[in-house]
Structure 1
Amino acid sequence: MKICDLTQMYSSQGGGVRSYLLAKRAYIREHTSHQHLLIVPGSRTEQIEGGRCQMWTVRGPLVNQTSRYRWMLDLPALLRILYLERPDVVESGDPYHAALVSRNWANRRGSKFYMFYHSHFPDALLRTVLKFAGPWARSVTEQLAADYLRHLATGGHGVFVGSRHLTQVLGAWGVPRLIHLPLGVDTTCFHTVTEERKRELRRKLNLPEDVRVVLYVGRFSPDKDTTLLLRCWQRMQEMAEKKWVGVMVGDGQMKPMVETFTRTHDCLRMVPFLKESKELAEWYQAADLLIHPGRWETFGLVLLEAQACGLPVVAFRGGAMEEQAYDVSQWAKERSSDSLAEAVCRRMERETGAEKDQLRTFIERKFSWQQTFARQMAEYEA
């Protein structure tokens, strides 16, 4: 069987969708006899990897001048690749125009079409619409999004959804053939370390050994609530009784703002995007707490990576990420920078590292890539 994944939500500089796709390719290569075809946007249309696991790029412009993502606009080129490779299964990692084109191609050829709902795209639409049209446009935008998703999914074989929360949302909208499929994490890379190793990592990464280290990992952009996070750091400086250091690991369109902010706040530092998972794991292993300010997340792979390293997490209550957390009792109840800062400060006061083993066990039991892809392959093969 030849399995094709295509998405615009792919960047060589990381991201949750890229992590999912690379893990999937590794699973197919090591545990199945299937072939894999990955199609993502690029600066030109070309095949960049061959063999059993191929990779093609389709020419498309950058989303904006500071973005690491591209639009997949050359749809004739996409169709030429599909006709050339003739995959038996096509999975789209986003619901946009390329998904509609590939769904129609799959239906004409008799291939199976699936979608993985990595991003709750009505939220992205609402952020733009509400900025220009005001609150009255909310219900109209949500209705249009629901109608489009129903149309797209009706012609396919299923929609994979990472969280039960979003499965319920999409089900209420009438989107058919929903398949709950939690994502996973590589626990051979992301794992706990001894206290001695943690001290070694603190010295290696130039982190103080005697203060709390609060870590953020992710893109610096409006959809990741970077501005809210910066306000949260500011409030933590005013609230916290003990010394702490905040570290922001990532990149994105708001990088200049983050650089300016960290330069003017001695307790903060910015670390550029880390492409190697082992390097990123060291930051998790050296820290005491992960902070996640996102209010629009559909899953949150960084939560799994952090907890696999024994790192507790603080985020907002009421979203899809609660399903990926071992303990949400100390999470912020109000979606504001003040509430998040208070929650982080409370957690810093009580953090002892005693939950490290429970966190890792929780992740190993519920969130392995092997479980994810074994279930997915069974669905493809049915």
Structure 2
Amino acid sequence: MRFCDVTLSYTETSGGIRTYIDAKRDYLLEHTNHHHVLIVPGHHDEVEEHDRCTIHRIASPTLPGCEPYRFFWRPDKIRQALDQSAPDVVELGSFYVAPWPVFGYRKDRQAAGHPTVVGGYFHTDIAEAYVGQPMRHAFGEWNDAIEWLGDRLAELTEKGAEKYVGSVFDHCDLRMASSPKQAARLVDHNVPEVHVVPLGVDLQRFTPDRRSQEVHRAMGVPDNDLALIYAGRLDVEKHVELLVDAVELLPDDMRPHLILVGEGPLRGKLEKRAKENGRTLVLPYEDDPDRFANLLASADLYVTAGPTETFGLSVLEAQASGLPVVGVEAGALVERVPSELGALGPVDDARAFADNIQQVAPNRQELGRNARRHVEQHFGWDSTFRKLLGLYDDALASHGLPAAKRAATGAVAHP
């Protein structure tokens, strides 16, 4: 059996979606006989094959202002990669150019007598994060009248994006979201029958046992000072500048240090502010997962201000590392951060965010222990992929692939 992921959110500096795909590939290799195929944009056309894994990179231009991300623009190249790799299951992680060659591939495969299933996973709330929020932000920097106009235009364009994304998911055989709240967002898009498939975390890698005072000091934080850490894209939709605003409002006696780990278009601006306030350090994206786990475990609090998270995988990794979380009461953070694991406040309110840091910091050890226990009890990649493969197995069965054939090809080889 061949499983395929098609996404543009897989680069050297990607976050949660790449983590999910890498974990899926590792699970397939370790627990099944399946082959994994990945189709992504790249600098040039190339095919890489190793150990039941195939990566098709399709020459694609970069997204302006979002380098190194690239966007698909040649549907014929996507179709060519699909025909060449012949997957039985295709999971969509990108929803503009990519779906249509995928749906065409499914139609032709099924006509030829090969049951084929397409799944859509709601990793990113495109309508809100990349349409509505940026437009509101741009118009909000003017006067009240322009801000009102921006809100109306954002609402209209966001509704249009919701309608389009909903139509893509409606064409899928399976529709999945990482949380009940995100499943409800898809229902807002008029998408029926959404399955909740929570993401997971590597509990052996992300653990409080990795805490190191040496790493704490290497981040520029003296032993008794407070290390606040954020890991993710340094971009407008993540509201990263608010974290800097909040840290600048903290009293000197807290001795706060903000560590920002990642890449993105705001990096230069954040580095400038770091030099000015002396409380912020901007580190590059950490591509070594063990070194990244060491950074998380050696900090004291995890902070994030993005209101449009669909799951918050980085939050889960921080909690597994024994960190309480300070965030905003929006998106997936409402589900990820109950009061016994940290504190949430209003969106875009630096004063309230700083107050929550002051509230959580004295209790960080107890809250951090709670966070670790919570993740141990409720999250883990094995349960994620057992459920995911079970859903695909049922979908293939409904498309006419007999159980004996599914077993022979490894379709039911998962535990």
Residue 347 (structure 1) aligned with residue 360 (structure 2): yes
- Post-superposition shift, 1:39? 0.6
- Post-superposition shift, 1:320? 1.5
- Post-superposition shift, 1:316? 0.7
Relative to structure 1, is the Cα distance of residues 339 and 240 closer, same or farther in structure 2, using a 3 angstrom cutoff?
farther
Name the SS for the 2:47 alignment partner: strand
Residue 324 (structure 1) aligned with residue 336 (structure 2): yes
Relative to structure 1, is the Cα distance of residues 77 and 173 closer, same or farther in structure 2, using a 3 angstrom cutoff?
closer
Q: 1:283 aligns with which of 282, 291, 295?
A: 295
> Residue in 2 aligned with 1:77?
77
> Residue in 1 aligned with 2:164?
148
> Residue in 1 aligned with 2:31?
31
> Residue in 2 aligned with 1:44?
44
Residues 208-217 or 164-173, more deviating = 164-173
Separation in 1, partners of 2:357, 2:51: 48
Displaced runs of 4 or more, over 4 A: none
- Post-superposition shift, 1:106? 1.6
Residue 115 (structure 1) aligned with residue 128 (structure 2): no
Q: 2:186 aligns with which of 162, 170, 193?
A: 170
Relative to structure 1, is the Cα distance of residues 352 and 126 closer, same or farther in structure 2, using a 3 angstrom cutoff?
closer
* Letter aligned with residue 125 of structure 1: V
- Post-superposition shift, 1:357? 3.1
Residues 274-283 or 134-143, more deviating = 134-143
Separation in 2, partners of 1:100, 1:298: 24
Residue 158 (structure 1) aligned with residue 174 (structure 2): yes
Superposed counterparts of 1:178-197, under 5 Å: 178-193=194-209
* Letter aligned with residue 25 of structure 2: R
Name the SS for the 1:323 alignment partner: helix
Relative to structure 1, is the Cα distance of residues 164 and 150 closer, same or farther in structure 2, using a 3 angstrom cutoff?
same
> Residue in 1 aligned with 2:213?
199
1:262-314 CA-partner distances (Å, limit 9, x unpaired): 11121221111110111111111111101001111111111111011101001
The root-mean-square deviation of aligned C-alpha atoms, in Å, is: 1.9
Relative to structure 1, is the Cα distance of residues 150 and 263 closer, same or farther in structure 2, using a 3 angstrom cutoff?
same
Of all paired residues, the percent bearing the same amino acid is 27
Residues 33-42 or 92-101, more deviating = 92-101
Name the SS for the 2:124 alignment partner: coil
Separation in 2, partners of 1:285, 1:166: 28
Return the TM-score normalized by structure 1.
Answer: 0.93
Superposed counterparts of 1:80-91, under 5 Å: 80-91=80-91
- Post-superposition shift, 1:65? 5.4
Contact 1:251 1:272 in 2 (8 A): yes
Contact 1:94 1:116 in 2 (8 A): no
Separation in 2, partners of 1:288, 1:199: 11
Structure 2: gaps spanning 5 or more residues: 111-115, 140-148, 395-415
Superposed counterparts of 1:222-371, under 5 Å: 222-236=236-250, 239=251, 241-326=253-338, 327=340, 330-348=343-361, 350-371=362-383
Relative to structure 1, is the Cα distance of residues 360 and 329 closer, same or farther in structure 2, using a 3 angstrom cutoff?
closer
